[in-house]
A and B are shown apart, each in its own frame.
Chain A
Amino acid sequence: MSTTAETAPLALGRRRMRVDGWRWTGRIFLAFMLLYTAVPMIWMLITSIKSGFAAMQFPPQWWPDEPTLASYEKLLDPQNSVGQDFLRFFWNSLFVSTVTTILSVIVAVPAAYAFSRFSFPGRNFLFFAVLLRNMFPAVIFLVPLFILMRLLGLMNTHGSLILTYLTFGLPLAIWLLKGFYDNIPVQLEQAARIDGATRFQAFILIVMPLSTPGIIATAIYSFIGAWNEYIYAYTFLTKNDQLTLPVGIQRFFSENTTDFPGLMAASFMMSVPVVVLFLVLQRYFVRALTEGAVKH
């Protein structure tokens, strides 16, 4: 950077300039990334309030001449068949994702705690075995799981999806939560046990509240994973009234025409629960809860 060297006679000044140079590079990069993520979403929103005809125009209307909420009204109206389907898919997705999330927290919390606190034979082996699943692409398990679900008689049930999503989400959930428990000083539990708590009470009363951010992160992760999953939902479910949103939305593509505003409106509404969930829960991430617990 010859220009900075010329303009800054002092070593200190030169260093500042270089830091600023990097900072600007970083900002430009981040701005680009932001556009890259935001523009498709904005376009989704804009398209969703166009009429079917306006959505197909070229050159495109950057802002619709006649904005309309017709697509939304259609999707949310339980009177017509499109609305009935959409609301059913939405409910199915919500049910599958919520149950997956709850079960995954119920399993991951004690599992992660055990991995973090206890030493038992095969602990390391088990811990890495848990991760092994994530080293393969999910599609590899499609056929084996299909056969397994058929044997279990879970074909065409939401249970098959919940079970599958659990096996996919749990490894990382356990891994993530273990990190949280590792960071909670063991002396806090010891203090609680001396203060009169049983081991279980110490866990519930002291450790659990402190691992809230971890549990929430785990929950969001499981929820999003289940909410967005497509290929298994597409394979395991065949009955129309059982479909989840990602598969259901596909219905907007028909052989001849595609209802783009309807598709975009449905996509937008599908992203709402995740965003809301995140906004509501994000305040728990802000501060490390164990601050002030121990002096290092």
Chain B
Amino acid sequence: MAHVVLKELVKAYGSFKAVNDVSLTVNDGEFVALVGPSGCGKTTTLNLVAGLIPITSGDIVIGDRVVNDLDPKDRDIAMVFQNYALYPQKSVYKNLAFPLQMRKLPRDEIDKKVKEAARVLDMEHLLERKPRELSGGQQQRVALGRALVRDPAVFLMDEPLSNLDAKLRVQMRSEIKRFHQDLKATIIYVTHDQLEAVTMADKMAVMNGGYLQQYDSPAQVFAHPVNMFVASFIGSPAMSLIPLQASTANGNSVLTSAEGWSFELSPRNAQKVARATTRKVVLGARHSTIKLRKSAVAGAIPAKAYTVEPTGDVTFVQAFLSGAIVNVSVPPNIAVAPDEQIWLEFDQERMHLFDGETEMALKAN
């Protein structure tokens, strides 16, 4: 196993930069998820690490080698593709043996390793089958097996679960996580599903528009998103972002809505707002930090319920507030009807404040 370092990595297609100045370090044995919406550059970044496309500038270090100009085969990596990319003319056994044959291992050693991988992945009975005779989940396992049979320095995974049905995906998710824990493998995992990233990764790199937005542990990214993009991308349902206006009343800092309501900020939040570049401030709140009241309470803001989505153990209520959609979760025993008048109470301790102009998170000091 080895660590991976990306230094000021750039991939440009003409004037368009698919990957823009991305720097990050994946420590030995770490599971890092590259996460972001479609076209954010995460798969391109992975292909750059794999050596499948040439880099425009920057450096890629795997282990202690700069691998910028090395062929994929010389980088000591293994990759699991989104569509599995199994060799259709070869049996499962030969699919698993291929990477070993290419490295000219003796026949009996190949046999031993293939059987071992098959045992680990519980597919010894499938070895003689062709890929087309396997189910989606089995194909996925073979793809995984082909990666781990060789014991590479780094595993690269490009949305390996996105072609599986929902139930299988959850099952394979825990298997890959288990596999990481057992092997202490260095894994770079691309996904557009923030839930996969949050549940599996030691660290997540949130990307957007070719830029690395934030690189930290899922808990940190969740608790302290650096900007509005990360705040809205991580977490489900998304963090509600409400555009407001900062002003001062009676010497106290308040946030005012275009709808007329306002609320007073705590001293710490007032400190944050004071650092905003303009008066425009965006209030961010996760569904679980907002209290829903059925009657007016001091400090609570009036709103109308728009949709109500019961999910069983929690009910999500959506409301319009100051032109933004606000998600609130309530226990299932609280009945809310669409168009019902409700009051929302924000938690000063757990709310996020963003600069309305730069979209960056506001910090107290």
Interface of A with B (CB < 8 Å)? 185, 187-188, 190-199, 201, 206, 209-210, 289-296
Query: How near does chain A come to B46, taking the closest CB pair, in angstroms?
Result: 11
Beyond the given pairs A193-B51, A293-B86, 4 more chain A to chain B contacts, judged by CB atoms under 8 angstroms and listed by A's residue number, are A190-B79, A191-B146, A193-B71, A295-B84
The one of A185, A194, A199, A289 that contacts B79, using a Cβ cutoff of 8 Å: A194
Query: How near does chain B come to A105, taking the closest CB pair, in angstroms?
Result: 19
Q: Which of B73, B79, B103 has the most CB of A within 10 A?
A: B73
Knowing A190-B52, A190-B79, A194-B79 are in contact, say whether A294-B85 is a contact too (CB < 8 A). Answer: yes
- Report whether A193 and B87 are in contact in the complex, using a CB–CB cutoff of 8 Å: no
The one of B73, B133, B134, B136 that contacts A195, using a Cβ cutoff of 8 Å: B73
A97 to B89 CA separation, bound complex (whole angstroms): 30
Interface of B with A (CB < 8 Å)? 50-52, 71-73, 75, 77-79, 81, 83-89, 98-99, 102-103, 130-134, 136, 139, 146, 150, 163
A190 to B158 CA separation, bound complex (whole angstroms): 12
The one of A198, A289, A291, A292 that contacts B71, using a Cβ cutoff of 8 Å: A198
A195 to B77 CA separation, bound complex (whole angstroms): 8
Query: How near does chain B come to A21, taking the closest CB pair, in angstroms?
Result: 38
Knowing A190-B50, A196-B102, A210-B88 are in contact, say whether A294-B83 is a contact too (CB < 8 A). Answer: yes
- Report whether B73 and A185 are in contact in the complex, using a CB–CB cutoff of 8 Å: no
A292 to B131 CA separation, bound complex (whole angstroms): 5
Query: How near does chain A come to B53, taking the closest CB pair, in angstroms?
Result: 10
Contacts of B132 in A (CB 8 A): 291-292
For B143, the closest partner residue in chain A by CB is A191
Contacts of B51 in A (CB 8 A): 193
- Report whether A196 and B136 are in contact in the complex, using a CB–CB cutoff of 8 Å: no
The one of B50, B136, B163 that contacts A194, using a Cβ cutoff of 8 Å: B50
Query: How near does chain A come to B93, taking the closest CB pair, in angstroms?
Result: 15
A185 to B158 CA separation, bound complex (whole angstroms): 15
14 contacts between A and B (CB under 8 A): A187-B83, A190-B79, A192-B87, A194-B50, A194-B79, A195-B78, A195-B99, A197-B102, A209-B89, A210-B88, A292-B86, A292-B132, A292-B139, A295-B84
A293 to B88 CA separation, bound complex (whole angstroms): 5
Contacts of A188 in B (CB 8 A): 85, 87-88
Contacts of A206 in B (CB 8 A): 87
Query: How near does chain B come to A221, taking the closest CB pair, in angstroms?
Result: 23
Contacts of A296 in B (CB 8 A): 83, 163
- Report whether B83 and A190 are in contact in the complex, using a CB–CB cutoff of 8 Å: no
The one of B73, B83, B103 that contacts A193, using a Cβ cutoff of 8 Å: B73
Q: Which of A192, A194, A196, A292 has the most CB of B within 10 A?
A: A194
- Report whether A196 and B73 are in contact in the complex, using a CB–CB cutoff of 8 Å: yes
Contacts of A194 in B (CB 8 A): 50, 52, 72-73, 75, 77-79
Contacts of B72 in A (CB 8 A): 190, 193-194
- Report whether A195 and B88 are in contact in the complex, using a CB–CB cutoff of 8 Å: no
Query: How near does chain A come to B136, taking the closest CB pair, in angstroms?
Result: 6
Contacts of B83 in A (CB 8 A): 185, 187, 294-296
Query: How near does chain B come to A216, taking the closest CB pair, in angstroms?
Result: 15
A191 to B81 CA separation, bound complex (whole angstroms): 8
The one of A187, A196, A209, A294 that contacts B99, using a Cβ cutoff of 8 Å: A196
Contacts of A210 in B (CB 8 A): 88-89
Query: How near does chain B come to A28, taking the closest CB pair, in angstroms?
Result: 38
Q: Considering the complex of A and B, which 3 residue pairs feature the smallest CB-CB distances, nearest first? A: A292-B132, A196-B102, A294-B83
- Report whether A196 and B134 are in contact in the complex, using a CB–CB cutoff of 8 Å: no
The one of A198, A289, A295 that contacts B136, using a Cβ cutoff of 8 Å: A295
For A190, the closest partner residue in chain B by CB is B52
- Report whether A190 and B133 are in contact in the complex, using a CB–CB cutoff of 8 Å: no
The one of B88, B103, B163 that contacts A289, using a Cβ cutoff of 8 Å: B88
A199 to B53 CA separation, bound complex (whole angstroms): 13
The one of B52, B103, B134, B146 that contacts A292, using a Cβ cutoff of 8 Å: B134
